[in-house]
Amino acid sequence: SEYTPAHWKTREWISGFTGSAGTIVITAGQAGLWTDSRYFLQATEQLQDSGIDLFKMGMPGTPTSREWLAGQLSTGDCIGIEGAVFPASEVLDWIRFFEKHQIHIRTDFAPYNILWKNRPEIPKHPVYLLPETLTGLSAQAKIEQTRLAMREKGANLTIIATLDTVAWLFNLRGNDVEYNPTAVCYAIISENEAVLFISSEKITKEVSDNLQKQGIQIADYSTIVDYVRQKTTSAETSLLITPAKLNYQLYEAINPQTACIETDVHPADQLKSIKNETEIAGIRQAMQRDGVALVKFHRWLENALAAGETVTELDISTKLREYRSEQKQYAGESFETIAGYAEHGAIVHYGATQESNAVIQPQGILLIDSGAQYLDGTTDITRTIAAGPVSDAMKTDYTHVLKGHIALASARFPKGTKGIQLDVLARQFLWKNGTNYLHGTGHGVGHFLNVHEGPQSIRMEHNPTELQPGMVTSNEPGLYRAGAYGIRIENLLLTVPDQTTKFGEFYAFETLTLCPIDTKLIDTKLLNPEEKDWLNHYHQKVYQLLSPFLSIEENSWLKQATALVE
């Protein structure tokens, strides 16, 4: 999971470091934390007097943790790790690496239950059923689709160890993980069995009846290791796994005699990424509700700033949550709101704290990236707004980002196209000006599931997954001037069929997100007629789809915010 239940936060327990990424390595005499540039400052503070050294990943001269360890240890030494919390692909890499040094890796080293006083339990929140009126397909039908895809790969057994995939497959949702409506569990699918491995305390009678009616068995969470061991003894077993998404403990339980078919993308993840008509209809409705909340929020913010009220970054998070929670089907935020005023906007993963919490001044740029979970869809939107007067340079930067956003939103491309092929459309105007952003342009988004889901992406990096009709992907170019301001404009895109000609099938994008794009930051001289057309059409659509749900005052604010750009 992107978010880890407290039970597994052993890195934080050992070190006090609360960042979302890092590796702790401890030898008899030394200890180190490896983390990336987002967390250099935070880690330096949190590690003070801990006896743990900070290793700044990606800086020249910093060894990788394995290189460092190879230097510390001698032939015959043994490294202990907890196999259950590392991906098999990574552990296999380590084993290969340390084999050369004749250093052994023990993968059952997990002393935390004994050492960690008051260790939080594995969360046990009840799971609930998402009805077919929202999912569009029964669990049974999804299992059959998965089996068909397994057969195409020559497999008759598979392990699913990603929480959102199990949630999608069985039409279940949970509350074990922050922001992701998922539960701690596993699934195994074979030609004649479908088993959900989950703590019985999470299962109500309603859920149990429903699953059993669909032929799904329920087994205790802890029994999966034995189950894998038993099921992989038959010579007829052909097991499909995704080593990057399977923990090493389960990988190790597979009988070495079993034929393993490895894949980078599990067929169930591929199926999950292509939303069906019911899911798409739900997402459209969630976008309308989210848009209504956003209009109320933006109107409130504009008025508060104009009236000289004190508004902080944390107030923005609170207000967004308030307006969204008034909407039907609301089920929480889809991630922690990023409200970054001025230089805070340039910190890509900024989250305001009581200490950093800035007051919005009536000038300059404010970046707000937020999203919600609704029972019928997940939203993720970034808007960058003028808090007051802005400089020409800010307008130029903003307009270049907007031009890239429009170019990607307007893309039309043949079947078979991958995200890396379209990424330049969003970056081209920045590149011509010697600027860039180092994050991806687009990530997949779940249907009332994880706000970051695969397998597709739109990035500078290669990803073999093709963009297909039904996929929902973000469009979020940005530009970050360190110490000054950050700009990002993000909508969600649905891949849709475009045209079929003698040259083949072509696809296009439909923008799903409904919220005005701040025109006060646009240098209209830099937009060509087609770009202005796109913006005006988008604003027209936003107005048409949101105005029926707004008061007269809100409507008049929206009318102005979506006024024609000429």
Task: Kindly list the residues in this chain that would bind a copy of itself in the complex (CB under 8 A).
Answer: 411-414, 416-418, 420-425, 428, 431-432, 434-436, 460, 462, 464, 482, 498-504, 506, 528
Kindly state the smallest distance separating residue 417's Cβ from a copy of itself, in Å: 8
Kindly state the smallest distance separating residue 508's Cβ from a copy of itself, in Å: 9
Nearer to a copy of itself, 24 or 411 (CB): 411
Cβ atoms of 544 and 534 within 8 Å: the answer is no
Cβ atoms of 387 and 312 within 8 Å: the answer is no
Kindly state the smallest distance separating residue 25's Cβ from a copy of itself, in Å: 26
Kindly state the smallest distance separating residue 58's Cβ from a copy of itself, in Å: 14
Nearer to a copy of itself, 180 or 511 (CB): 511
Kindly state the smallest distance separating residue 488's Cβ from a copy of itself, in Å: 16
Nearer to a copy of itself, 145 or 417 (CB): 417
Residue 530 buriedness (CB in 10 A; 0-12 / 13-18 / 19+): exposed
Q: How many CB atoms lie within 10 A of CB 106?
A: 11
Nearer to a copy of itself, 38 or 459 (CB): 459
State the SS3 of 61-117.
CCCCHHHHHHHHCCCCCEEECEHHHCEHHHHHHHHHHHHHCCCEEECECCCHHHHCC
Which DSSP string corresponds to 361-408? PSSSEEEEEE-EEETTEE--EEEEEESS---HHHHHHHHHHHHHHHHH
Cβ atoms of 202 and 125 within 8 Å: the answer is yes
Kindly state the smallest distance separating residue 250's Cβ from a copy of itself, in Å: 28
Contacts 24+ apart (CB under 8 A), 533-542: 534/406, 534/409, 534/410, 535/402, 535/406, 535/565, 536/564, 536/565, 538/409, 538/511, 539/563, 539/564, 539/565, 541/514, 542/291, 542/514, 542/515, 542/516
- Helix then strand then coil, in percent of the chain rounded to 5, is 40, 20, 40
The one-character DSSP state at 519 is G
Nearer to a copy of itself, 205 or 432 (CB): 432
Question: In this structure, what token pair is assigned to residue 14?
Answer: 């050992």
Helix (H, G, I), strand (E, B) or coil at 501: strand
Nearer to a copy of itself, 18 or 528 (CB): 528
Can you tell me the distance from the alpha carbon of 213 to that of 230, in angstroms, rounded to the nearest whole number?
Answer: 25
Q: How many CB atoms lie within 10 A of CB 280?
A: 20
Question: In this structure, what token pair is assigned to residue 468?
Answer: 């297909």
Question: In this structure, what token pair is assigned to residue 135?
Answer: 């999912």
Kindly state the smallest distance separating residue 91's Cβ from a copy of itself, in Å: 24
Kindly state the smallest distance separating residue 507's Cβ from a copy of itself, in Å: 10
Kindly state the smallest distance separating residue 440's Cβ from a copy of itself, in Å: 13
Roughly how many angstroms between the first and final C-alpha of the chain, as a whole number?
A: 46
Kindly state the smallest distance separating residue 243's Cβ from a copy of itself, in Å: 21
Place of tokens 């009236």: 307
Nearer to a copy of itself, 303 or 499 (CB): 499
Nearest to 251 by CA among 164, 159, 150, 162: 159
Kindly state the smallest distance separating residue 409's Cβ from a copy of itself, in Å: 13
Can you tell me the distance from the alpha carbon of 384 to that of 154, in angstroms, rounded to the nearest whole number?
Answer: 49
Can you tell me the distance from the alpha carbon of 380 to that of 231, in angstroms, rounded to the nearest whole number?
Answer: 41
Kindly state the smallest distance separating residue 432's Cβ from a copy of itself, in Å: 5
Kindly state the smallest distance separating residue 412's Cβ from a copy of itself, in Å: 5
Helix (H, G, I), strand (E, B) or coil at 270: helix
Nearer to a copy of itself, 205 or 462 (CB): 462
Q: How many CB atoms lie within 10 A of CB 479?
A: 24
HSE at residue 335, side-chain half, CA atoms within 13 A, is 24
